[in-house]
Amino acid sequence: MKSYRVYLLLMIVFFTTAHSQVLNDRYRKFINQHVNANMRVNQCDSVINGKGISETGTNHCKETNTFIRSTLNPIKAVCGKGGVPYGGSAVRWNFKSRAVHAIHEGRVSLCIAFDKIMTEPGWDKETIAQSASLKQKLEDFEFTFLLGVFQFIFGLTEPLFQVLQSKTVDIKKCQDRIMSTLSALKATRTDEAFSRIYDETGTAVGEPVPRRKRRRRGWDDLEQGFNQHQEGDQETLVSFRRLYFQIVDGVVLHMTHRFADMEHLNFFRILEHTSFASFCKPAAFPSSELAQLINTYPFFDQLKLRNELHTLYNNRLFHKPPGQLIELLIEDDLQGTLSELVRGCT
């Protein structure tokens, strides 16, 4: 959670250090996207200029007004004392993968922004101190290395996330995407993949500082030509290599356990609306999926449900996703006629 807040703070400061006209455009976009898409342009301009808005519009952009008017300390204005954003959007700011991608791609620009905050007049001491701390974090080898690792991993898992969040109930498609994602993740468990991220991090922020040796070296070590610096570099490399492999192994293990039961959910395919047109043919009827459903939930009336599914597949009016289908059945007062189907959709 602590590192995630750092990502959010970095994104926030990035928006507060641009040219004033660019800021106005971005703030207007921020209001429209994150608070209220129906707000009129003049209301947005009133908020941006710090003039406030009418009583009827106050509730539309309470958080945004705080965000924009507290220009002397934008970090504190947005995150408050607890370091948690006030609100605005529970979707656009809470995708960790997007935060990681944004910080990874904009790291250099963020460092420049922090430098300007620390050197230009008009910023309070707390904001300057926070900027210095965040800039130090961005220039830390371990932080930047982990940023690169998770940016790489999220690049592989983001397509899977989009499939799992879609309206499809095609479990076979989900299973195939899960297996391909796991294969791609396992393929990254190589020295070549680690070395690429490690070298890119070194190029960006410099070589890591070797950790101090716990055991003191004696004269015998020095007489034998012991090179503490070389050993420290090698030990640091091994340490980061171990960390990289542990992260990849952990992600693969968690994904494997999380989706271990997906194969038992194939019965969802009977409600895959894109396949209804083919299911109406006797040879293509999903009999095995229906049998799996009855096996898992024996309270269904199998014969009645089969007949209702035939009705569903043969009527194009019903070829809709489960959510829209249940709304249509309720609207047409068909809960009693297609009772098993309604039970299956809910």
Residue-wise pLDDT tens digits, 176-196: 888 999 999 999 999 999 999
Q: What is the mean pLDDT of the chain?
A: 72
Task: Tell me what the mean pLDDT of segment 198-213 comes to.
Answer: 83
Q: What is the pLDDT of residue 303?
A: 87
Question: pLDDT tens for residues 110-162?
Answer: 889 889 889 988 888 888 898 899 999 999 999 999 999 999 999 898 888 88
Query: CA 335 to CA 343: how far, in whole Å?
Result: 9
Average pLDDT over residues 242-262: 91
CB neighbour list of residue 233: distance below 8 Å, 6 or more residues apart? 207, 210
DSSP-assigned letter for residue 147: H
Q: Please state whether 84 falls in left (phi above 0), alpha (psi between -120 and 50) or beta.
A: beta
For every residue of 278-314, DSSP letters joined together read HHTSGGG--HHHHHHHHHH-TTS-HHHHHHHHHHHHH
Q: Any long-range contacts for 247-250 (C-beta under 8 Å, 24+ apart)? A: 247/149, 247/150, 247/153, 248/153, 248/185, 248/186, 248/188, 248/189, 249/189
Map residue 129 onto helix, strand or coil: helix
Question: Could you tell me if 195 and 145 are in contact, meaning their C-beta atoms sit under 8 angstroms apart?
Answer: no
- Provide the pLDDT confidence category of residue 168 given band limits of 50, 70 and 90: low
What six digits make up the tokens of 7? 């990502």
Radius of gyration of the chain (CA): 28
- The residue behind tokens 């890591």 is 208
Quick one: pLDDT band at residue 296, thresholds 50, 70, 90?
Answer: confident
Residue with the larger pLDDT of the pair 211 and 225:
211
The span from the CA of 286 to the CA of 280, in Å, is: 10
**Cα distances (angstroms) measured from residue 192 to each of 188, 197, 259:** 8, 9, 28
Structure tokens at 135: 């800039």
Paired tokens of 65: 């007004």
Per-domain residue ranges of the chain: 2-138, 143-210+230-258, 267-345
Highest mean pLDDT among 151-155, 167-171, 189-193, 308-312: 189-193
Q: Is the pLDDT of residue 14 over 60?
A: no
Is residue 54 scored above 80 in pLDDT?
no
Strands (E), 50-167: none
The pair of three-digit structure tokens given for residue 151, joined into one six-digit string = 């940016």
pLDDT (0 to 100) of residue 244: 96
- Residue 242, pLDDT score: 95
Residue 321's CB is within 10 A of a number of other CB atoms, namely 16
- Ranking 76-90, 93-107, 253-267 by mean pLDDT, the lowest is 76-90
Residue 233 has pLDDT above 80, yes or no: no
Q: How confident is the model at residue 8 (pLDDT cuts 50, 70, 90)?
A: very low
